[in-house]
Amino acid sequence: MRKPRNEFHEAVQKGLKCAEKLVSDFEILNSMCESGQDIEAFQYSFGVHGRVCKLFKISNYLPAFTGDSEADKLVEEVLREEIPIDIGYTKEGWFLMRMPLLLPKKETGKGDVKHLRAILGASFKKAFAAELDTVKFRECTIIYRHVYDQARPERAWRDHDNIEINFVTDMVAMYVMTDDAPYLCEHHYCSAAGTTERTEVYVIPQADMTAWLQQRETFPDEGVKFERILLLDGKNHV
């Protein structure tokens, strides 16, 4: 490659190298899958995920190099389209947010957190813009339910204490809790297998925890239905 002419060109070259490596990665993964090496493919996919995140980070910075004052806003709009978020309430009155991806790991997801925080912030602002009397939970439990592809072996599921959730809790608390102090808000974490990977976040009264635990045994594969939808697939739904 030629010497980059400027920062934008340098970022483009880095992205190109990363993309070329990813093409090779997916060819290797495809070969593993075709030969029945599923476990090896799952293990290899973690490295691929890291390189995808690197390319994601590079591509997100590209618009900023243009000097456009609207760059960050436009990037967030694109990300919101690519990572649609569902927000609403169940028939029991429980708050529910559903993201079509798993939350990042603590040690490797710092770059992801910045962009996910921006997406969440924009999504919550949009969802609650018309809410004049938002339900605020006081003594409550925030529940993180991580759904993994049923083809992924359980040993490949992440430890709950290795998943970055603080930025999500902060955002949820701002809109639907009176306070997320330990004496008011309890935390519960669990995992399940499904056809699509996602993260579900519930906020329920502490008194409803037993009911939630009983109901989760019969949760539909696609997730609990909303009784009242504030945001669906990243779009307002009234």
| pLDDT band at residue 39 under the 50/70/90 scheme | confident
Torsion angles phi and psi, residue 147, rounded to 5: -105, 120
Determine contact, residues 91/227, Cβ cutoff 8 Å: yes
More confident residue, 80 or 237: 80
Q: How many CB atoms lie within 10 A of CB 106?
A: 16
**Rounded Cα–Cα distance for residues 153 and 73 (Å):** 38
| Rounded mean pLDDT, 186-200 | 91
Q: Is the pLDDT of residue 95 over 70?
A: yes
Please tell me the distance from the alpha carbon of residue 232 to that of residue 238, in angstroms, as a whole number.
10
- Residue 223: DSSP 8-state: -
Boundaries of every domain in the chain: 1-67, 71-236
Q: How many CB atoms lie within 10 A of CB 72?
A: 13
CB atoms within 10 A of CB 96: 24
CATH superfamily of 71-236: Holliday junction resolvase RusA (3.30.1330.70)
Other C-beta atoms lying within 10 Å of the C-beta of residue 211: 13
> Which tokens belong to 98?
């559903």
Check: CB of residue 121 under 8 Å from CB of residue 171: yes
- Does the structure show a pLDDT above 50 at 73? yes
Instruction: Return the closest-CA partner of residue 212 out of 103, 88, 90.
Output: 90
Structure confidence by residue, pLDDT tens digits, 14-30: 889 999 999 999 999 99
* pTM of the complete model: 0.72
